[in-house]
Amino acid sequence: MQQFMSYQQIGKLALPVIAAQSVVLINGMIDLAFIAPYGTEAIAAVSIANALCAVLFNFLEGFRLGTTVLVAEASAGNNAPKATAAVSSGLFLAAITGGLFAAFAPIISHWVYRLAGNAPMQYYGTEYLTVWLWALPFILFSYVLTGLFRGLKDTAAPLYATFVICLLNVCLDYMLVCGGFGFPSLGVKGAAWGTLLASLAGFGILILLAVKKPLTSPYLECKQPFFTQVPEYIALAVDIGLNTGSTLLALLIFVCIIKPLGPAALAVHQITLQVFNLAYLPALGFLITASIIVPQLLTPLHNHLLVPTVCRIGQMSFGVVLLTSGLVFIFSATVSSFFSPADKQVAAQAAQTIRLVCAGQLFSAIYMVLRGVLTGCKDTRFIVYEGWVSGYLIFLPLAYLLAITSGYGIYGGYMAFVAWCITDCGVLACRFFHRQRLL
């Protein structure tokens, strides 16, 4: 890589990632659509399971992004044995982690719904969550293989597998939840079985692609020793997981802070959160793109390209987010009314908080790129500490102060969210340029 990456090359890496994340998000909504006819208790039970799984998968994101960084770094140095060891380490640790969760799935599910649900919710949720956790080993294996593809700059192959998983999940939901095509209806737990079978099929597709493609097949050598790579893999994966998991946990605590504001505030938050989840996707794609590219620019031969390339990724991320968030900002009243057609007051408040989220996303567009850059530099421990300080010592106390103490309500809570975005962006920018001055 002797020249700057073009915007086209950056987009080629980022767009499949954004598309894959969008498909996963839509797939989750489809699951709820199939379960909705079973009533409020069923939806509530599944929502608890989905929230728990979302937190869990965020804490386990290190399997995917960690593999990406280690493979990209090894690939840049033409160190195939190290890349192979990274993949083997990931699969080994995924088997242990996923196996433990699968083994204790019935116990975990029992206690989750004993603490969080009433009898109908326990009836619907316990087996649903158990089956979901049984799918975890296949999901983690897929994370590692996705990291392999991404680390070698192939972000399209995981997208194909994601499409197949989601299409299979829709078909299996129809068959197992609704009793379609003559299959017996399993009710709510049928959606979890659909997820498990689709995850197994997706893992099979990724294995097939990885074995068949000349790009990836050399890195699937199972006989090569890899235990010396395990400590580095664990350190990187744990840091990444702590950061992504702690961020989502802070948002869940935010819900507890605004709960005293009443059902209307919670409704506004849920509407705003759905918009945030969609608006967040472009920046996430550029985070992963930065984590793929940066490890290949850390050699003395290519280091002079690092800052210009990061600036180019940042410009592209900001431009895309400015476009998408700008459109949402302009049509915020329409979007909020779509989600809350009956309650005009909730719709009006949601329009205001959506505008704040759109403003915050402009800073997140840069922050996510910088997070990807520092992750690619393996400066993940700083990201963890910064995330804890900004999330738990700035965002949450400020949210309580503005939303509850000062009486600004849900609007004040989202003002704190914007402050959180600005803080993260500023601190990581200072960290990146400080690192560059030391090189």
pLDDT tens, position by position, for the chain (439 residues)? 456 678 899 999 999 999 888 877 777 777 777 887 888 788 888 888 888 888 899 999 999 999 999 999 999 888 999 999 999 999 999 999 999 999 999 999 999 988 876 788 888 889 999 999 999 999 999 999 999 999 999 999 999 988 888 899 899 999 999 998 888 889 888 989 998 999 999 999 999 999 999 999 999 987 788 888 999 999 999 999 999 999 999 999 999 999 899 988 988 998 898 889 888 899 999 999 999 999 989 888 788 889 999 999 999 999 999 999 999 999 999 999 988 888 899 999 999 999 999 999 999 999 999 999 999 999 999 999 999 999 999 999 999 999 999 999 999 999 999 999 999 999 999 999 998 876 5
- For 54, phi then psi, to 5°, come to -60, -45
d(CA 134, CA 143): 16
Closest CA relative to residue 433, chosen from 360, 366, 362: 366
Closest CA relative to residue 313, chosen from 346, 356, 347, 283: 283
Under 8 Å between Cβ of 188 and 38 = yes
SS3 at position 322 = helix
Radius of gyration of the chain measured on its C-alpha atoms: 22
Q: Is the four-CA dihedral 218, 222, 227, 231 of positive or negative sign? A: positive
Residues in the chain: 439
Question: What tokens were used for 306?
Answer: 């690092």
CA distances for 196 relative to 20, 130, 185, 221, angstroms: 18, 11, 16, 27
Long-range contact pairs involving 54-57 (C-beta distance under 8 Å, separation at least 24)? 54/248, 55/245, 55/248, 55/249, 55/252, 56/101, 56/136, 57/139
Give the contacts of 223 (CB within 8 A, at least 6 positions apart): none
Query: What is the identity of the amino acid at 371?
Result: R
d(CA 14, CA 320): 11
End-to-end CA distance of the chain: 19
